[in-house]
Amino acid sequence: MQAADLPPSHVAPTRAEILRGLQRRDFFFHFQPILELQTARQVGAEMLIRWVRGGELLLPARFFPALEQHHLLKNLDQFVIQQVRALAWDHVLHPTTPFRVFINVSTESISDEAFLAPMETIAEHLRPFNLIPVVELSERSLFDPHLLMSGLTRLRERGVEIALDDFGAGYSSLARLVNLPLDILKIDRYLTAGIGQSERGEVILDSVLALAEKIGFRIVVEGVETRYQAEWLAKNLGCWVQGYYFGYPAPMDFSAPAAGAGGKG
Ligand code: G
Ligand code: MN
C-alpha cells in the first residue's frame, strides 16, 4: 500500500486497518526508563505502544477507543507478548542485575489462556537472564478483582510480577489492596503533580507511600517531571521513579553496554 492510499489519521481506523497495522508492525514500542531514586540505577523500563499511521506517530489515547470498539485489545496483548518474547529469545538485553520489563495488559487477558500460557513460558525463559516481566493492571478501567485472582496468582507463581497502574486515580480503591496479588504499586502522576503545589496532596502522597512500604509493595512514582519533585521524593528510601525528568519514552538502544538497560529514555 502506498502512503497516498492511507486514510488520513483523523478518520477512525477500521478493524481491518488495525489488524493490518499489527501484522505489518506499524505498531511498535517505546521504552521509558524506571530508576531506583537513591542510586539512579535503571531497574526497568515500561513498554509503551505507538502506531505510525499514515506517516503520523500516534499515542495510545488516539487509537485505544478504536481498539476497544473493535474488540481488539486481546490482539494488542498478543502483539505485546510477541515483542517480549523477542527480547527474551533474541537475548537483546543482557542485564547483570534484575531488570524489569513492564507491560500494559488489558484485564480481559488475565483470564485468557492464550495470554496466560505464553506469558508463563516467557517468564521462565527470561529468569536466567535477569529479566522479570511485570504485568501492569490499569486502575483506569473498572475490573472485578475476583475474576483476576486465579490468573494473577498463576502468573506470580511462574515469576511474573504484578503492578497496579495509575493508583490514586480513576477507579482505584483501597479495597483492592487488601486481597489482590500484587508486587508493585505505581502511583499516578496526578499525585506527583501535587508535590510543592498542594499541602493536602503532599499529605496524601506521603500516606500512600508509607502504606505501600508498610505492606511491602515496591513503589513506582509516575510522572516525575521536575527536580523539586525528585528531591521531595528522595526521603523515601528505595522508591522507584518514572517520568520526563528521568527519561522520555524512546526506542530502546540495544547497543548500550552490558548493564543492559539501554536507551537513555
Ligand atoms: O497509564 P500509564 O501510566 O501506562 O501511562 C503512561 C503514559 O504516561 C505514557 O503515554 C507516557 O508517555 C506518559 N508519561 C510518562 N512520563 C510522564 C511524565 O513525566 N509526565 C506526563 N505528563 N506524562 C508522562
Ligand atoms: Mn502503565
Distance CA 185, CA 166 (A): 8
How much is the pLDDT for 253?
A: 67
- Mean pLDDT value across the chain: 89
| 138 alpha carbon – ligand 1 mean position (Å) | 13
> 61-95, pLDDT tens digit by residue?
999 999 999 999 999 999 999 999 888 777 667 78
How much is the pLDDT for 8?
A: 66
Please answer whether residues 211 and 227 qualify as being in contact, where contact means their C-beta atoms are separated by less than 8 angstroms: no
How much is the pLDDT for 9?
A: 66
Q: Which has more pLDDT, 5 or 235? A: 235
Task: Assess whether the C-beta atom of 168 lies below 6 angstroms from ligand 1.
Answer: no
Please answer whether residues 123 and 159 qualify as being in contact, where contact means their C-beta atoms are separated by less than 8 angstroms: yes
The pLDDT of residue 260 is above 60 = no
Q: Ligand 1: which of 29, 58, 244, 246 to mutate, most ligand atoms within 8 Å of CB?
A: 244
How much is the pLDDT for 259?
A: 42
How much is the pLDDT for 6?
A: 60
Please give the average per-residue pLDDT across 220-231, as a whole number. 98
Please give the average per-residue pLDDT across 210-218, as a whole number. 95
Task: Assess whether the C-beta atom of 225 lies below 6 angstroms from ligand 1.
Answer: yes
Residue nearest to atom 22 of ligand 1 (CA): 223
Q: Which atom of ligand 1 is nearest to the CA of 244?
A: 19
Distance CA 162, CA 100 (A): 11
How much is the pLDDT for 205?
A: 96
Q: What does the buried/exposed string (b/e) look like for 105-128 if buried means 16 or more CB atoms within 10 Å of the residue's CB? A: bbbbbbebeebbeebbebbeebee
The pLDDT of residue 263 is above 50 = no
Q: Which of 2-11, 67-76, 82-91, 240-249 has the lowest mean pLDDT?
A: 2-11
Q: Pseudo-torsion of CA 133, 139, 144, 147, nearest 10°? A: -10
For 225, the grid coordinates are 517531571
Task: Assess whether the C-beta atom of 48 lies below 6 angstroms from ligand 1.
Answer: yes
Please give the average per-residue pLDDT across 210-227, as a whole number. 96
pTM of the model as a whole:
0.90
How much is the pLDDT for 261?
A: 42
- Percent of the chain at pLDDT above 70? 91
Distance CA 87, CA 85 (A): 5
How much is the pLDDT for 10?
A: 74
Please give the average per-residue pLDDT across 205-209, as a whole number. 95
Cβ neighbours of 217 (radius 10 Å): 18
> 114-157, pLDDT tens digit by residue?
999 999 999 998 888 899 999 999 877 778 888 899 999 999 99
Tell me if residue 210 falls in helix, strand or coil.
helix
How much is the pLDDT for 258?
A: 41
Please give the average per-residue pLDDT across 19-30, as a whole number. 94
| 139 alpha carbon – ligand 2 mean position (Å) | 10
| 128 alpha carbon – ligand 1 mean position (Å) | 30
Please answer whether residues 85 and 124 qualify as being in contact, where contact means their C-beta atoms are separated by less than 8 angstroms: no
Please answer whether residues 85 and 53 qualify as being in contact, where contact means their C-beta atoms are separated by less than 8 angstroms: no
- Percent of the chain at pLDDT above 90? 73
